Amino acid sequence: MARVIANKGIVIQGNVLHWQPVLLNIMRIAGFTADTLPTFRRRGESTLWLFSRQSRPYGIIYRLGGCPTGYCFLTRLRGKHIISHWLGTDVMRYHGKLNPIKKLGIRVRRHLVDLELADSESVQEELRAVGIETKLLRLLPQTIVAEVTALPEQATVLSYWSDERFDFYGGSIFLALAKAFPEVKFLVALASGEGLTGIPANVEFLGLVDEMSEIYQKCTCLIRIPRHDGLSAMVLL
């Protein structure tokens, strides 16, 4: 199906802020170089890029976050090879009872993906259970630079969720804790709180934060209770 390609360039897509730099460093140590793609926020933007002139120099697409089967098909149609690196939450598309289309997709991707990678043994087990065999490649930061500082005077709890994924990130549990401890300040990064009712007075929604280091300094602890996760960069930082 895929035509023969002459270009051997590698481009990395996904997880721009956290894992792309880690992967680039691993590749550099191994003697490989690669380019990176920005975050595609609109639906279909990655497909438009794939069929644009900008994709021509690249023979290998390294997808951080697991490559959906449909995108794998289009990538091979363009004559490119695929590395699909599963990190954690991305395996949830295969949770629960699989419909016939997903089952077919799992069988088809064995002929589409050149290399399936998993970031942990637990992710490997989840994928193996649905018939996707992977090799283990753990992405860890080069170094974790930490400075021990005094706790803030006011007890402050930090969490994170998006407005669209309130339930996934345990928003109701977080708000219940805020109601139970009115003397504690609760901060939520990324979310705006729009559409929620009955928000306790001690909860503050920060929205999108450009520089999180200052927020970390103000917090006593981090509460992170998503339904599923890999190794969170937020926890490491």
Given this model, what pLDDT does residue 145 score? 63
The DSSP code for 102 is H
State the pLDDT at residue 185: 92
* Contact of 106 with 127, CB cutoff 8 Å: no
Give the contacts of 225 (CB within 8 A, at least 6 positions apart).
Answer: 169, 170, 173, 174
pLDDT at 91: 81
Higher pLDDT, 36 or 29: 36
CA–CA separation, 91 vs 221, rounded Å? Answer: 28
Q: Which tokens is 200 given?
A: 């306790």
Label residue 133 by pLDDT band (50, 70, 90). very high
DSSP 127: H
How does residue 55 score in pLDDT terms, banded at 50, 70 and 90? very high
Please name the residue that has the structure tokens 């996707």: 132
Q: Is 50 exceeded by the pLDDT of residue 210?
A: yes
Q: Tell me, what's the pLDDT at 211?
A: 77
- Rounded to whole angstroms, what are the CA distances from 123 to 28, 31, 45, 147, 182? 25, 27, 27, 31, 38
Do the two domains 9-136 and 156-236 of this chain adopt the same fold? yes
All structural domains of the chain with their residue ranges: 9-136, 156-236
- The confidence score (pLDDT) of residue 4 equals 38
- The pLDDT tens digits for 58-99 are 999 999 988 888 999 999 999 999 999 998 878 888 887 888
pLDDT score for 232:
66
Residue 174 pLDDT greater than 50, yes or no: yes
Token pair, residue 14, equals: 């996904």
The CATH superfamily holding the domain 156-236 is Glycogen Phosphorylase B; (3.40.50.2000)
User: What's the rounded mean pLDDT across residues 117-127?
Assistant: 89
Is residue 200 within 8 Å of 175, Cβ to Cβ? yes
- Residue 5: pLDDT over 50: no
pTM of the model: 0.64
Gyration radius (Cα) of the chain, Å: 20
Name residues whose C-beta falls within 8 Å of residue 90's C-beta, 6 or more positions apart in sequence: 65, 66
User: What pLDDT does 26 receive?
Assistant: 84
**If you classify domain 9-136 with CATH, what class do you get?**
alpha beta
Instruction: Please report the pLDDT score of residue 151 as a whole number.
Output: 77
